[in-house]
Chain A
Amino acid sequence: MFDSLFLILISIFVPIIVFTGFKIFKCSNYQKFLNVLSIVLLALEVLRFFYSTTFYTDAETPKEDLKFGIITILSIFSLFATFNNSKIKDSLRSIFVLVSLSPIILGLFDPSIYINSLDVNGVCKAMFMVQCGLTLAIALFYVLDNLKINPLNILWSVIFILIYVGINALTIWYWKMNTEFNLLWYMSYLTVVISIAVMFAIYYIYKFLTNKKDKNKIENK
């Protein structure tokens, strides 16, 4: 229970802390900031992987750490979305923004994806929580960097999640034959799909409010 609480707390506060720093130091170049954040996210992922694998020196198949984690996918995805300058940049960023809540939701439904009983000091757990927060921070900066999300991007995001679910299901079936029916597993991905719509609604409200503000400014002038 406390793990879930801390996961939510850290995930919310990391973007707040990053955004406050951005404003306090009067940074204006979103792209540079995004480059740094994406690299930090990937570095944390690499660190987490190596730190985690050190616990399994004698294991034949360190399957728990080679699992196809959503945070791993998002770390790599953020690199493509940040450093890409082609036409699909906006689509990639939109998908990233819409699915940015997924690591938190999957973590809440199944804490075993970030809790390792051999990690006595909980270093990987803390890194995962910070990564969840960084994912949200990157999504926030994509939106601030004049991102326009089309309703069509919801469809792309759902497809992205479905592909991930398929691969995850395959890996589970490959390593664990005769797996019992787990309702929570299905529910977690259903919630992720719902969160895509929630993120779109949040984005839409944000755009609506900023447009209203701009209109008021123009009228006042």
Chain B
Amino acid sequence: MDKLLKNLIIPLIITLVVIILFVTLCTLLLKNKSEKAKLWPVRIVFFVLVALEIAKIFYLIGRDDYFFPNRFPIVFCSMIMYAYPIFCFKENRFSDVAKGFSVIPSILAFIMFAAIQWKYNMSIMQVHSFIYHGSMLAVAIYLLTSKLYKFEFKKFYGQFLAVGGYLLIASTISLLIGGPISVFAPGDPYLAFLYDVSGFSVGICIMIVAVFVAYFAVYGIIELCSRALKKRREKKSNSNKNDLKKVQNV
């Protein structure tokens, strides 16, 4: 219990409080500003992530006297860092896909990280991880609260292609350089069972299928909920109008 408290609960509470503060402040302060201005916090977080990534590489080389191939920044948690510059500096046709790419994978990365965090004693690397994943989660929530990204069912396919493409490219690179990416490797804490059962390539195909199903389900459920809410609002406004008419007639 003590381990759980020290390694997970206390740092997690601190991280969540900082995230809530960051999101609330940024959303309220930039509420009536242009979209360009609203993207400033994302730009700052992007540079922070790059700095953290570089710092991690140098720290690990210094600590281990060797650069392991799996420390190339192509792991699942690093991929969001590559999506930010696509939308936070200049608008282009892939901006919306990149924004979506920074929402669900960020949330998933934070949950995956928090799920095994209790095993490791707090160290400088753990603090680094909390800051890194917390920043990603903060941006993901900020994109939603500031209405920079809206969930629409049609967008799910673009998201699926982006994440599926990433999985394929990152896993191919990892196979070529010989280092496991943190999503799919024999000793992986999350998906080792799939690796053992399916092997490398078939496992990638299964993961792509799973990404398709997951995105379809998430975007589909959100679309259904938003439609139901819209209908309710319309019903309410219609009943209000009818009441007004009745009052006027009386």
Contacts and interface: CB of A to CB of B under 8 A. Distances in A.
Given A2-B198, A126-B201, A9 B206 contact: yes
B5 interface: no
B157 interface: yes
Contact of B197 (A2, A24, A25, A123): A2
A62 interface: no
Contact of A130 (B160, B200, B205, B213): B205
B206 A121 contact: no
A6 B175 contact: no
In which size bucket is the chain B interface? 10 to 19
B166 interface: no
Interface of A (DSSP majority class)? helix
Nearest to B199: A122
A91 to B, nearest CB: 33
B72 to A, nearest CB: 19
A207 B209 CA distance: 29
Interface residues of A, number: 20
A68 interface: no
A20 B201 CA distance: 23
Nearest to A26: B154
A121 B205 contact: no
Contact of B199 (A13, A121, A130): A121
Interface in B189-224: 197-202, 204-206, 209, 212-213, 216
A122 B201 contact: yes
A6 B205 contact: yes
A123 B212 contact: no
Given A2-B197, A2-B198, A24-B157, A126 B205 contact: yes
A21 interface: yes
B213 to A, nearest CB: 8
Contacts of A25: 157
Interface string A118-162: 000111011101100000000000000000000000000000000
A24 B161 CA distance: 12
A144 B249 CA distance: 56
Most buried by A among B160, B199, B202, B209: B202
A129 B199 CA distance: 13
Contacts of A43: none
B201 to A, nearest CB: 3
Pick the 9 closest A-B CB pairs, nearest first.
Answer: A126-B201, A122-B199, A121-B200, A24-B157, A122-B201, A13-B209, A123-B201, A126-B202, A2-B197
Interface of B: 154, 157, 160, 175, 197-202, 204-206, 209, 212-213, 216
13 contacts: A6-B202, A10-B202, A10-B206, A17-B209, A25-B157, A121-B200, A122-B198, A122-B199, A125-B201, A126-B201, A126-B202, A126-B204, A127-B201
